[in-house]
């Protein structure tokens, strides 16, 4: 497995059409860039930070020369300006309406559960008629006795299959890689 940063995009003229692709979405700090690094088995192909708001553009990462993972700016980040939020929504809309990507990984913090913003974007994605896969991140942060309960809670709000993962403990990547294979074939 190898991953390669290809480019950022801020307008639809910059979109790439040469490989299947998957958009990675979620609130700031949920672990989008960490997930991309884990899948590409690289430490810092995508920038990770303890400070929310690290990723500010949509970024293409080519994996195995086969497909793109598209990192996106985190939403729900208080310090972002209204213009930034509007720009994000506009880009998201154009990207998904271009029909390049019909599948989205929506990352939700396993411990925090779906936030108001997560529910808001989930509805937007449903309306755009893309297939949403909910990835529950930071699985390591919740005790094993509470996992099932929390998974059911997330499932009752976001009605679709949940893929729990932990980048820290390397949990859930077998299922996730199988899913990706299925999506890109
Ligand atoms: N415990 C734990 N921490 C994680 C995990 N995945 C990511 N983190 C931490 O969460 C923080 C945010 O991770 P990022 O990958 O930068 O999050 P992001 O969603 O890309 O954030 P933005 O770029 O700001 O939108 C970092 O401190 C990571 O180390 C995980 O599986 N377990
Ligand atoms: Mg990021």
Give per-residue burial for 119-144: e unless 16+ CB within 10 Å, then b: eebbeebeebebebbbbbbbbeebee
Residues enclosing ligand 1, CB less than 6 A? 26, 28-34, 48-50, 52-55, 73-74, 137-138, 140-141, 166-168
What are the residue boundaries of the structural domains of the chain, listed by start?
Answer: 3-184
Indicate the DSSP class of residue 18. Answer: S
Confidence grade of residue 137 (pLDDT, cut at 50, 70, 90): very high
Helices (H), the chain: 32-39, 82-97, 116-127, 144-157, 173-184
Pairwise CA distance, residues 46 & 59, whole Å: 9
- CATH class (in words) of the domain with range 3-184: alpha beta
**49 Cβ neighbours under 8 A, 6+ residues apart:** none
Minimum CA distance residue for ligand 1 atom 13: 31
pLDDT at 3 > cutoff 90: no
Q: Integer distance in angstroms from the first to the last C-alpha of the chain? A: 17
The CA angle 142-126-91, to the nearest 5 degrees, is 95
Predicted confidence at residue 43, as pLDDT, reads 66
pLDDT at 1 > cutoff 60: no
Ligand 1, residues 5, 25, 29: which to mutate, most atoms within 8 A of Cβ?
29
| Ligand 1 centroid distance, CA of 83 (Å) | 25
Pairwise CA distance, residues 159 & 12, whole Å: 30
Question: Which tens digits make up the pLDDT trace of 17-58?
Answer: 999 999 999 999 999 999 999 998 776 677 777 777 777 889
Name residue 8's beta-bridge partners.
Answer: 59
| Ligand 2 centroid distance, CA of 108 (Å) | 14
Looking at ligand 1, which atom is closest to the CA of residue 37?
15
Pairwise CA distance, residues 103 & 98, whole Å: 12
| Ligand 2 centroid distance, CA of 97 (Å) | 23
| Ligand 2 centroid distance, CA of 45 (Å) | 11
């Amino acid at each position: 497995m190898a991953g390669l940063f290809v480019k950022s995009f801020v307008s639809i003229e910059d979109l790439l059409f040469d490989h299947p692709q998957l958009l990675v979405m979620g609130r700031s700090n949920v672990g989008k860039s960490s997930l991309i690094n884990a899948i590409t088995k690289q430490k810092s192909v995508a920038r990770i930070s303890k400070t929310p708001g690290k990723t500010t553009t949509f970024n293409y990462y080519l994996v195995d020369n086969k497909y793109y993972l598209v990192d996106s700016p985190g939403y729900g980040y208080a310090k972002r300006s209204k213009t930034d939020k509007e720009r994000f929504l506009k880009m998201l809309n154009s990207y998904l309406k271009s029909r390049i990507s019909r599948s989205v990984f929506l990352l939700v913090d396993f411990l925090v559960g779906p936030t108001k913003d997560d529910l808001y974007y989930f509805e937007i994605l449903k309306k755009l008629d893309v297939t949403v896969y909910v990835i529950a991140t930071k699985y390591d942060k919740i005790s094993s006795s509470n996992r099932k309960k929390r998974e059911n809670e997330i499932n009752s709000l976001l009605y679709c299959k949940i893929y729990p993962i932990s980048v820290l403990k390397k949990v859930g990547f077998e299922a996730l890689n199988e899913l990706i294979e299925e999506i890109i074939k």
